[in-house]
């Protein structure tokens, strides 16, 4: 029997884990000699601090989280400077501003509380920019920490907040229950690099074969998912991993998450222009204030290129 190398991967709950679930179900990780354990995180603080501490090998996270902790702008201090970097892309964010049914315009959010994962990381800056461009200034609304997307969705259902940014398929669940979509982030702020693969440079140097294998398996999973002939099995994999998701929502999630040009990046490429958008927002809202302009500081495509050469 072939001995598989274990990898510990920490993720946010959500449909954007579909390529991971598929790679497990279809044996793409095993083909690369890997056994993946997925651990859901309740929020970005837990995810990033435990990745930095070495409790996990890889995180599927937002590039903004990587930049924040690298620049000393994270939600919590982490001691010595971390050595995080992004090694592959993933998606464009799938960020939708979802609000209570009575909210019809940005002006209706004046004086209301909206929820975020963390105040200084994740997608809080996207929400602040959307509200600003919608005519609201700081002080005209309040932001409340509520945790990751699942936690924010639950809080929204319980009407604890007027709105939040949700990611697919949570916005589909929200809309099916009567909540309203006020806007899509990319329509307001332009290209945005969403979830991607990140790890520590020190770990990558010592585990290059495993990281290259992880990328290869992930890309193979994406290729399988984008093959429309696999749609019925793909939807079944999604529902097995999200058992509370109605069949209709799962079908709609397929059309969103696997939409050419708008869903997953088919080859898990990084969106450099999307990273520039993240840097502009972090330069504006991050504290201590820094002017951040160079996307290349936060990624290394060495392992991606090795994986691509072997596909």
The pLDDT value given to residue 153: 95
* Pair (29, 175) in one structural domain: no
Domain containing residue 130? 96-189
Tally of CB atoms within 10 A around 176: 13
Residue 164: which of 140, 178, 148 has the closest Cα?
A: 148
pLDDT < 70 positions in the chain:
1, 122, 310-311
Residue 222, in any domain of the structure: yes
Q: Quick one: 158 exposed, middle or buried, by C-beta within 10 A (0-12, 13-18, 19+)?
A: exposed
CA–CA distances in Å: residue 279 to residues 52, 169, 275, 291: 21, 26, 6, 8
Q: Which residue has the tokens 């500081």?
A: 297
Reduced to 3 states (helix: H, G, I; strand: E, B; else coil), residue 181 is strand
Reduced to 3 states (helix: H, G, I; strand: E, B; else coil), residue 205 is helix
The pLDDT value given to residue 310: 58
The pLDDT value given to residue 1: 54
* Pair (71, 106) in one structural domain: no
The pLDDT value given to residue 236: 98
* Pair (67, 142) in one structural domain: no
The pLDDT value given to residue 121: 76
* Pair (204, 303) in one structural domain: yes
* Pair (105, 174) in one structural domain: yes
The pLDDT value given to residue 51: 98
Residue 277, in any domain of the structure: no
**Beta-strand pair 163-166/113-116:** parallel
The CATH number linked to 161 is 3.40.190.10
* Pair (232, 118) in one structural domain: no
* Domain termination residue (choose one: 146, 165, 189): 189
Residue 59, in any domain of the structure: yes
* Pair (110, 200) in one structural domain: no
208-242: per-residue pLDDT in tens? 999 999 999 999 999 999 999 999 999 999 999 99
> Under 8 Å CB-to-CB from 294, ≥6 apart: which residues?
279
The pLDDT value given to residue 93: 82
How many angstroms separate the CA atoms of 201 and 299, rounded?
A: 10
Residue 278, in any domain of the structure: no
Residue 275, in any domain of the structure: no
Q: Where are the beta strands (DSSP E) in the chain?
A: 5-11, 34-40, 58-62, 84-88, 96-99, 113-116, 142-145, 163-166, 180-184, 195-200
Q: Which tokens hold the place of 144?
A: 């409340």
CA–CA distances in Å: residue 290 to residues 34, 73, 125, 182: 39, 9, 15, 31
pTM of the model: 0.95
């Amino acid at each position: 029997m072939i001995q598989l190398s274990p990898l510990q991967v920490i993720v946010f709950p959500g449909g954007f884990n579909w390529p991971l679930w598929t790679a497990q179900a279809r044996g793409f990780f095993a083909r690369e000699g890997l056994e993946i354990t997925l651990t859901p995180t309740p929020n970005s603080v837990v995810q990033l601090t435990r990745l930095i501490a070495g409790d996990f090998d890889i995180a599927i996270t937002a590039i903004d989280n990587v930049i924040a902790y690298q620049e000393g702008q994270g939600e919590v201090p982490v001691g010595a400077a971390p050595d995080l970097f992004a090694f592959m892309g993933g998606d464009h964010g799938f960020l939708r501003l979802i609000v209570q049914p009575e909210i019809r315009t940005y002006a209706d959010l004046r004086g209301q509380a909206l929820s975020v994962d963390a105040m200084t990381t994740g997608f809080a800056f996207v929400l602040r920019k959307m509200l600003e461009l919608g005519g609201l200034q700081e002080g005209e609304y309040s932001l409340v920490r509520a945790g990751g997307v699942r936690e924010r969705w639950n809080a929204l259902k319980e009407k604890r907040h007027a709105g939040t940014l949700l990611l697919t398929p949570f916005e589909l669940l929200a809309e099916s229950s009567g909540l309203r979509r006020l806007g899509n982030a990319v329509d307001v702020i332009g290209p945005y690099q969403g979830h991607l693969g990140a790890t520590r440079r020190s770990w990558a140097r010592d585990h290059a074969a495993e990281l290259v294998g992880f990328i290869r398996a992930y890309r193979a999973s994406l290729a399988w998912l984008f093959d429309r002939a696999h749609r019925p099995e793909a939807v079944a994999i999604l529902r097995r991993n999200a058992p509370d998701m109605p069949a209709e929502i799962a079908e709609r999630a397929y059309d969103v998450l696997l939409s050419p040009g708008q869903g997953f990046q088919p080859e898990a490429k990084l969106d450099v222009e999307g990273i520039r958008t993240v840097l502009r927002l972090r330069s504006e809202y991050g504290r201590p204030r820094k002017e951040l302009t160079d996307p290349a500081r936060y990624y290394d495509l060495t392992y991606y290129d090795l994986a691509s050469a072997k596909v």
